[in-house]
A and B are shown apart, each in its own frame.
Chain A
Amino acid sequence: MISLPLADRARESTATPAGGAVTVQQVYEEHFDFVWRSARRLGQRPPQLEDVVQEVFMVVQRRLSTFEGRSSLRTWLYGITRHIVRSHYRRTRSEHSAPPEFELVDGRCSEAQLSAREDLRLLHGLLAQLDDELREVFVLAQLEGMTGPEIAEALELPIRTVYSRIDSAQKAFDRALQRARARERGGR
């Protein structure tokens, strides 16, 4: 395994922003999963998914000093992720589907793991049936637990629009789920 001399030196690099005590490494440790999930649910798959996430944290390093207040860090990060996905990867955006890695059949998978795969496949299949703008608010509200004001800030929307879209998204999601269950019962 070739070791790269640059990698472990970076731990000493603090990239401390001028205005506060938060470093990019701290932001990374706390919110990496969220950024990854967000990019994933915005349609990114490997290898673009890793590229997007890396780019998000490069932006964070550059702009963390201009960020004020930890309360909306997640919304700030989501805004960055969304912007990068839209501006750089519009053409390569893939459809919402189960991640390819879940297609690999592994005999050692437990029942729970197989069941989880099925659930995830179902979830993404349902999300794919929502309009983009409905899906976005739905994911942030239902899967990330963001509040209405947080979503409004992240998506730069009026709060009323956010609630209206959440309502529409919930209805659409439920309808899609019913259709999927009906197909399972009737078709297979």
Chain B
Amino acid sequence: MSLSPEAERLLQRTKHLDDPSQADRAAMRARLSASWLAADQSAEATDVRRQAVSRWTKIAWGVLSVVALIGAGAWVRGQLMPAALPPSAASPVAPSSDCTGDCAPAVARAVDPSLEPPRLGAVHAPEPVPAAAESRTPSLAREPRPVRRALRASERSASTEQRRATAPNTSPALPLQAAAAAPQVEAAPVREPPISTGPSAYAKAEPVPDEPAPARAPAPVESAIDDELALLGDAQDALRAGQPERALRLVQSHGFRFPNGALAQERMTVHVLALCALSRPNSARQVYAQLRRSVADAPVLERVRADCGF
């Protein structure tokens, strides 16, 4: 079954009557150009933030590794002393699968030099990080040499976590929280090194593997950018349509909702132009001064100056 000839003719005649006009095309091109540019700039800003977080994460892990080394040394010295540390302080997190699940016997065994070699072997393996963590409690206590090996395993797993942390993590959280949050990929390493002093207490202090912010961060950023773009697009349209009062209201709304938004620079640009259009040169100059502080792009500033007659 097909259409009647009359219907076919009607469709042929009207096929392109819903097309955009030249004016529609030009207006949309301008609108999209600004929006695409703003989106690119915000993507760059996000990348910069991501790199900053990554840098902080690396620094934090470096700090943690150093503290872990110092703490491990202190713990070992404590273990080798006749008056051993109390069992609870020796391993705040019980390595469940390796020993019997009770920390005290593990500590007692740890000072026994006849501990089986496989534990030492487990410490060496880089992949099974939980195993490394769990077997470290007995291994660390044995002798200086196993201690060093265990510490190297600790550094290795720390750097593994650092790699994992920097790859997917996009949260602009505090560096320490970011470092502590990263191991949510692998819960066990957060508890290591299982040493009584500094590092473990330090690690425990952070509200760690439940930190959801890194995984969720991209989504809210995306929709906020959409809202920012919509608002600023409307402000630009209002300016273009000769409605500077409306543009100013929209700019102020944007500034209120997104004071630290990615498009603050674009907002300030439209803000200056709106104020100029409203013949408010003093206010325009004030906002322009703010814009100049945040914009390195001379052509943008020149255009604003030209349009405003500064």
Contacts and interface: CB of A to CB of B under 8 A. Distances in A.
Same complex for A and B? Answer yes
Interface of A: 1-11, 13, 15, 24-25, 28, 32-33, 36-37, 40-41, 50-51, 53-55, 57-58, 61-62, 116, 119-120, 122-123, 142-143, 167, 170-171, 173-174, 177, 181
A174 B18 CA distance: 21
B11 A2 contact: no
B18 A13 contact: no
Contact of B1 (A24, A25, A167): A167
Given A3-B307, A171-B1, A58 B39 contact: yes
- Interface range on chain B (Cβ under 8 Å from partner): 35 or more
A32 B20 contact: yes
A160 B222 CA distance: 37
Interface stretch (B101-109, B144-152, B186-194, B266-274): B266-274
18 contacts: A3-B307, A4-B34, A4-B240, A9-B37, A10-B32, A11-B33, A13-B36, A32-B25, A36-B18, A53-B28, A54-B28, A54-B31, A57-B32, A116-B17, A119-B14, A123-B17, A143-B15, A174-B3
A101 B13 CA distance: 19
B7 A6 contact: no
A153 B284 CA distance: 52
B2 interface: yes
Contacts of A57: 32, 35-36
Contacts of B269: 4-6
Interface in B1-32: 1-4, 6-7, 10-11, 13-15, 17-20, 24-25, 27-32
B303 A3 contact: yes
A13 B37 contact: yes
B30 A2 contact: no
A37 B24 CA distance: 12
Contacts of B24: 36, 50
Contacts of A171: 1
Contacts of B34: 4, 6-7, 10
A116 B19 CA distance: 13
Contact of A173 (B3, B17, B19): B3
> At the interface, is chain A mostly helix, strand, loop or mixed?
helix
A51 B27 CA distance: 12
A10 to B, nearest CB: 3
Interface of B: 1-4, 6-7, 10-11, 13-15, 17-20, 24-25, 27-40, 222, 226, 229-230, 233, 236, 239-240, 266, 269-270, 273, 276-277, 299-300, 303-304, 307
Given A4-B270, A6-B34, A170-B3, A37 B19 contact: yes
A176 B15 CA distance: 18
Contacts of A174: 3-4, 7
Contacts of B17: 116, 119-120, 123
Nearest to B269: A5
Which 9 residue pairs are nearest across A and B when measured between Cβ atoms? A10-B33, A5-B303, A10-B37, A36-B20, A120-B17, A123-B14, A6-B34, A5-B300, A37-B18
Contact of A6 (B1, B13, B27, B266): B266
A58 B35 contact: yes
A32 B36 contact: no
